[in-house]
Structure 1
Amino acid sequence: MKTFFTIGLAMLVSLGTAASAQGLPLQTTTGAEIGIQVSSYRYEEDRNGSFFMSLDGKKLGLSGSFTQTYGDRWFWGGDARYASGNADYASASTGSKSANPDSYVDARLTFGRDFDVGDQVLAPYTGLGYRYLSSDLRGYSTTGAAGYRRTSNYIYLPLGVTHRFRMGPDARFATTFEYDYLLQGMQRSYMTDIPSGGYDRDLNNLQRRGYGLRLDMAYETDRWSAGVFYHYWNIADSDIGVYTAPGLVYSGYEPHNITREAGVQVKVRFR
């Protein structure tokens, strides 16, 4: 990345302002991208402010997107990501368990508009997003505690802005910051997976409060891009739900949780 910056700045100085009229534009362009991601992932729960459990692992992901421009600097598009890997479970009360399958899908539709700010561009956008997470903890921990599958569904409102500036006639640097407002979440805990539990109904919890943050930075050319990203989710305690065994009713909730993911990505661009 340091080499990219050095080359870009040298080209900018040598070519001067005439370069801004050539090569890759700063404005949003019609096209598509496919990419690969490698990331470090951590999910953490607490109850009443005290650590309860965590999942740590590495993920390998694929991403794809398309963008269509129209009218006077307006644009719309969509993007999707899939990432999977194994996560190590650790809990203060139920021990640990290694190599648990963990994956997620994140897809959105967005629209926005470009605004020139001197020799730079700001592109605010909004839209609608959906995130699905699957975590498989079936089996037994080091203390003999039985695990089960868990799935999360988030519907959220992305509010973001992309800032671009030129790194030479054929390259630019883009930084995107995004706030994700949780509209509704649903957590399902498959209590029926527990062999000795005797449960005949799983636990479903509605999540009403939470938010996410995203930061993406990339060096972009006409044909490829490379960069880093950081994604964060903070979800409050859920509503209380029930799960059952014959003749018995239990209650439970999904506690406050935080997800952090940091990684690198490379994309191929098509125009």
Structure 2
Amino acid sequence: MADSTPLPSSEAPNDAAVEREATRRSRRSFLLLAATGLAGLGGWRWLVSRPTDDGVPWPLRRVLDANGQLAQEYFSNAHLAPVFPKAQARAPRVNGDIGLRSALDAAAWRLRVLGYAPAGPARAQEFTLADIQALPRVEMTTELKCIEGWSVVVSWAGARLSDFLQRYPLATDPRRSGLAPYVSLFTPDEQYYVGLDIESALHPQTLLCYEMNGQPLTPEHGAPLRLVTPLKYGIKHLKRIGTIAFLHQRPADYWAEQGYDWHAGH
């Protein structure tokens, strides 16, 4: 049977002692929390006062670049995005109109390509949509993933960027051997722009796309020609390509300048 004998008064905690101990602990917890908060605030102020790199404080940019490097090491021609039956394809939501706000004259549209020329002026060449459609047609049904967290399966048709470059070797400098390490793409009004490393550009699932779900692209989805690269988030899938340039240095990227990872792989 349990002992129910009351504790001697010297052993029994009284209300005053409990209150003093609670006050002591509360004060200590508050001071610790305040110190932590001040340290965090000081760290944040230090962070945002650092010089920027592509519009982002350099310590954050180093973290983003490290993450991007890991993604790039994972990225190879042997790593393919999953493909799905066409029956699962759906129309993606209209998301973002930067670079699409001006009127489109489809008949006058031309793809302008600036060839790789690290030691001199770039060679410029123009192509019609018919030129792109004359290349081997590739169809694939893959998942379009948005950086916002949603995704949708879409069926695409177009020409591989690698096939385009095999037919028109504009990523190499004719005066010397070597392949351009980077690619820049931007809309005709130059308001939206993305950068790719050459490995991503030459990936077999990177398309110059002119059809979506069996129909020609609509203006809001990037007509007449858009980029599709399903191992990267949708922020890299530039709509309404105006110019492609092959460069020696890593080009600017719209969303990287807003603080996102330059590679934007998933």
| Pairwise same-fold verdict (TM > 0.5) | no
TM range (shorter): under 0.3
Q: Could you say which structure has the higher helix fraction?
A: 2
Q: Which of structures 1 and 2 has the bigger CA Rg?
A: 2
Which protein has greater RCO, CA pairs closer than 8 Å, 6+ apart? 2
TM-score normalized by structure 2? Answer: 0.20
TM-score normalized by structure 1? Answer: 0.20
Q: Could you say which structure has the higher strand fraction?
A: 1
